[in-house]
Amino acid sequence: MKNITNYGLLILILIYSCTNPPKEEEASASFSMNDTMMAKCEFYNASFQEVRNEIRLFGKIQPDNNKLAHVYSIVGGNVMKINVELGDYVQKGQVLAMVRSSEVASFQKEKLDAISDVALAEKNLHVAKDMFTGKLASEKDVVAAEGELQKAKAELTRINEVYSIYSLQSGSVFNITAPISGYIVQKDINQNEQLRADKAEILFLIAEINEVWAMANVNESDISKVQVGYDAEVSTLSFPDEKYMGKIDKTFNAIDPETKAMKVRVRLPNPSLKLKPEMNATVTVRYQEKKKMIAVPSTSVIFDKSKNWVMVFKDRNNIETRKVEVYSQVGDLTYISAGLKEGEKVISKNGIFIYDAIND
């Protein structure tokens, strides 16, 4: 009875095996790509390439220090009017704020005194020359009068330079003007505020932002991976789909004692002015590892069942599902450490559909 039962079980196993072969093998053996599938797919010959890697850094957008202007007030007084707000674009020489100040009146007095001194010195020189002609004065007196005139003119020139530099005008009003064209990126002044003459704080900060810096922090463990000249891709939270390309143009060879990080700088053109100072930025730095590996487009690699696969194409009737070991993926390229040889052709576009058709 026991032998009969075992014999019957063996018969059932043989019948099941004949009628239900492994699904994957059946699909592989019977699958063939038609012309429509061929037209929708793209192919790529695997090749050895220099291995590139990347490191992701975090930092902020900052204005170019060479295109930055700090604006102070040279006089104390009461703020009468403010003509600009944070984020406004201003032209060079534009009045940013107006301050009523008694110190302006003192500058005016100095100028009037200097003009008077020049006139008096010219008159004294004229008298000295007349007296020298009439033998009533010596040549030494003439030389002394000429010296006094030169001193008076030098003082007047100095006062005029002060008026020109600080755009001083008659009266008691001092105009705070923009030294360069750019955007107001910092403002620390309010209407009716009483300014002190010795106040050292910046009232306005003006920056040209048609070119900006991305300042990123590099951890100590990653310093050896970053060098001047490396390509860098910058993205922001505000515009995550827009990538800004640049290169590392400076490394600051000092470690911040608090963050334990070194700063690097990436210059970025900003013609659209979308990048604003103090924006948070992600800086992806790409570098070479000085070795070669098999590389294929990242679209060739299919992740399924916790493994990586590629579809190796030999001809439309001979397509192999090949397990590969991925070393790294950098942008559009994936580097393969095992499972693929140089020159083998893989499906680089729409390979997932072929994978599903063969293996489902």
**Among 60-64, 71-75, 339-343, whose mean pLDDT is lowest?**
71-75
**Among 68-72, 106-110, 235-239, 241-245, whose mean pLDDT is lowest?**
106-110
Q: What is the dotted CATH code of the domain comprising 68-207?
A: 2.40.50.100
> If you average pLDDT over every residue of the chain, what do you get?
86
Task: Please report which confidence band the pLDDT of residue 62 belongs to, taking 50, 70 and 90 as the band edges.
Answer: very high
The pLDDT of residue 232 is 93
Give the pLDDT confidence of 196-205 residue by residue, as tens digits.
877 678 899 9
Give the pLDDT confidence of 264-306 residue by residue, as tens digits.
999 999 998 899 999 999 999 988 888 899 999 999 999 998 9
The domain spans of the chain are 24-51+291-359, 55-65+209-290, 68-207
Give the pLDDT confidence of 148-165 residue by residue, as tens digits.
999 999 999 998 888 887
Burial of 202 (0-12, 13-18, 19+ CB in 10 A): middle
The pLDDT of residue 33 is 85
Comparison of pLDDT for 137 and 92, the residue scoring more: 92
Average pLDDT (63-78) is: 89
The pLDDT of residue 58 is 94
Comparison of pLDDT for 169 and 32, the residue scoring more: 32
Q: Are 182 and 90 in contact (CB under 8 A)?
A: yes
HSE-up of 128 (CA within 13 Å, CB side)? Answer: 18
The pLDDT of residue 165 is 76
Check whether domain 55-65+209-290 has CATH 3.40.640.10, yes or no:
no
Chain centroid, CA 359 distance in Å: 46
Task: Please report which confidence band the pLDDT of residue 71 belongs to, taking 50, 70 and 90 as the band edges.
Answer: very high
The pLDDT of residue 316 is 87
The pLDDT of residue 265 is 96
Q: Are 354 and 347 in contact (CB under 8 A)?
A: yes
Round to whole Å and give the CA distance between 132 and 109: 34
The pLDDT of residue 147 is 92
Task: Please report which confidence band the pLDDT of residue 142 belongs to, taking 50, 70 and 90 as the band edges.
Answer: confident
E-strand stretches of the chain: 42-45, 47-63, 68-71, 77-82, 89-90, 95-100, 173-177, 182-187, 194-195, 204-207, 211-219, 231-236, 244-255, 261-269, 280-297, 302-304, 307-315, 318-330, 333-338, 345-349
- C-alpha distances (whole Å) from 157 to each of 108, 146, 148 are 14, 16, 14
Residue 170 has pLDDT above 80, yes or no: no
Paired tokens of 55: 């490191």
Residue 88 has pLDDT above 90, yes or no: yes
Average pLDDT (304-320) is: 92
The pLDDT of residue 3 is 45
Q: Class for domain 24-51+291-359, per CATH? A: mainly beta
The pLDDT of residue 301 is 95
Residue 22 has pLDDT above 70, yes or no: no
Which span out of 43-57, 94-108, 190-204 was modeled with the highest average pLDDT?
43-57
Strands, sheet with 194-195, edge to edge from the N-terminal-most edge strand: 173-177, 95-100, 77-82, 194-195
Residue 15 has pLDDT above 70, yes or no: no
Average pLDDT (239-259) is: 90
